[in-house]
Amino acid sequence: MSTMIPARQFSNLRLADVLTSSLAAIRGEPNPLGLPAVAAAVVVLADGLGVNALRARAGHARYLSARLNKPDIIDGVFPATTAAGIATLTTGVEPGQHGLVGYQVLDAAGDRIVNQLTGWDDGMQPATWQRAPTVFTQAADAGVPSFAIGPKRFVDSGFTRAVLRGATYVAAESIADRFVAARGILAAEPSALIYLYVAELDVAAHAHGWESGRWLAQLESLDSEVARFAADLTADQGLLLTADHGVIDVPQTKHVLFDTVAALVTGVRHIGGDPRCLQLYLDPRQTEMTADSLADAWRAVEGDRAWVYTREEAVAAGLYGRVADDVLSRIGDVLVAARKGVAYYDSRPANQSSRSMIGQHGSLTDDELRVPLIRSGAFSR
C-alpha cells in the first residue's frame, strides 16, 4: 500500500535562522539572513500569524503586508505548533535536537503524556528536557544583553525557563505595552537582543477563528504598533517579525472522532500531538499491532484526508530535522497529519472542552507551515 508521504521541500530560510542571525548581526558577523551589522535587534514573534491569513487580510495590516516580500516567506517547523516553533526560534536548532517535538508528547520514563507548554513538573525539568542552549545564553557568552518581553503570566513558567533561559524577562500585558517596554530597553542599552512575544492572535484564533472580527482586531493592533515602533528605530537598530505557525478554521462538523473506528486505536496506549497532527504511541506490552500495521489501518480509513507516517518514516523524511537518540521516544510510533480541513479527536475522555476550539494548527499544509519574515529598520531590504 502507498505510504502517501508528501515530498515537501522546506524553504531555504528557516525559522531557526531568525534569532541566530539577529545575534550575528549585533556581533557584526555573516549570517543566513544576510542581515547587516547593527547595535541592537528586536525579533517579534506573532503567534499564529500565517502568511496566507496575512495576505487574505492585507487591507487591515498595511504596514506588514507591504513588507511581505516573496523571498522572505519561510516555513516554520513540523509539527506546526507553538512549543516546537518557539523552541526552534530561540535555540536555532530543529525540534529533533531541542526535543520539543509536539504539543503533547510521550514522557517514556513516566509512561505519560506531557504538555510541553503547561505541563512542566519535577519529572520534566526545563533545563534538561529542552536539550539545546538558547540564543540568549549564546548572547550572554558574547557580552550582549538579551531580553524577552511578554505577558506576566509567563514570567516563570516551565516553558519560559526551557526556551528563554539566559534572557531577562520583562512583563508587559498588552501588545502596546510590550512595544513600550522594547523602546525603553533600546533607550537604556546601547547594544541588546530583544525578543517580543505576541500571543493575542493565536488566542483569538483558537477561540473565535482567524476569520473572526476578534482576530482581525488583534491583527490591526499589531500592525499599528509595529509601524509606530519601526518609525522610531535608529539607523543601527533592526526589527524582524515572524511567527511560529499559521492557523486554519475547523468547524465542529469537520471533527473526526477517530476512536469510533476500532482499528485506529487498537494497540494504542497514549495519544498526543494536536488535533491536526496526532501522535499515537503503541502499548509496548501488546503484540496485536505494530507501527506499520497501525499506519496501514489509518491510511485505509483516512488516507484521503491525512498524511500518515511511522516514526521511522517521519525521521527519514527529515520532518524533525536531525533527531537525537534520546528524543526519538517522544515522537509517536505513528503520526497522523491532516491535509484536508479536519481535526482528529478522541471522544472517550470525559473532558471534551478542546472541541470548542475553532482555529487549529499542527500539520504540513501551507496555511499552517508558511510564516512571514518582515524586515524593518536597519534590516529593511
Is-contact 41 241, C-beta < 8 A?
A: no
Which of 330, 335, 282, 296 has the alpha carbon at shortest distance from 313?
A: 335
b/e per residue 54-66 (b: at least 16 CB within 10 A): beebeeebebbbe
Name the domain count of the chain.
2
27 and 146 within one domain: yes
Range of the domain at 289: 252-360
Whole-model pTM: value is: 0.96
CA gap 296, 307 in Å, rounded: 11
351 and 368 within one domain: no
291 and 231 within one domain: no
242 and 258 within one domain: no
319 and 178 within one domain: no
Residue 186 lies in a domain: yes
Which of 59, 27, 33, 9 has the alpha carbon at shortest distance from 241?
A: 33
Residue 8 lies in a domain: no
Alpha-carbon 274 to chain mean position: 12
78 and 51 within one domain: yes
The CB density around residue 171, as the number of other CB atoms within 10 Å, is: 15
Beta carbons within 8 Å of 296's beta carbon, 6+ residues apart: 1
Residue 257 lies in a domain: yes
64 and 39 within one domain: yes
| Alpha helix (H) residue ranges in the chain | 16-26, 51-56, 62-66, 82-91, 95-98, 126-129, 135-141, 158-163, 175-188, 200-208, 213-231, 291-302, 311-316, 366-369
pLDDT tens sequence for the chain (381 residues)? 344 555 466 778 899 999 999 999 999 999 999 999 999 999 999 999 999 999 999 999 999 999 998 888 999 999 999 999 999 999 999 999 999 999 999 999 999 999 999 999 998 999 999 999 999 999 999 999 999 999 999 999 999 999 999 999 999 999 999 999 999 999 999 999 999 999 999 999 999 999 999 999 999 999 999 999 999 999 999 999 999 999 999 999 999 999 999 999 999 999 999 999 999 999 999 999 999 999 999 999 999 999 999 999 999 999 999 999 999 999 999 999 999 999 999 999 999 999 999 999 999 999 999 999 999 999 998
What is the CATH classification number for the domain harbouring 85?
A: 3.40.720.10
Residue 176 lies in a domain: yes
Residue 109 lies in a domain: no
Q: What is the pLDDT of residues 99-155, one digit of tens each?
A: 999 999 999 999 999 999 999 999 899 999 999 999 999 999 999 999 999 999 999
270 and 372 within one domain: no
Residue with cell 523602546: 183
Residue 326 lies in a domain: yes
Q: What is the pLDDT of residue 72?
A: 87
131 and 47 within one domain: yes
Could you tell me which residues are beta bridge partners of residue 345?
257
Q: What is the pLDDT of residues 46-82, one digit of tens each?
A: 999 999 999 999 999 999 999 998 888 999 999 999 9
Q: What is the pLDDT of residue 1?
A: 39
- Phi, psi (degrees; rounded to nearest 5) at 54: -60, -45
What is the CATH classification number for the domain harbouring 354?
A: 3.30.1360.180
Which of 138, 132, 134 has the alpha carbon at shortest distance from 29?
A: 138
Residue 11 lies in a domain: no
297 and 157 within one domain: no
Q: What is the pLDDT of residue 370?
A: 96
Q: What is the pLDDT of residue 13?
A: 87
Residue 112 lies in a domain: no
Which of 200, 191, 144, 190 has the alpha carbon at shortest distance from 167?
A: 144
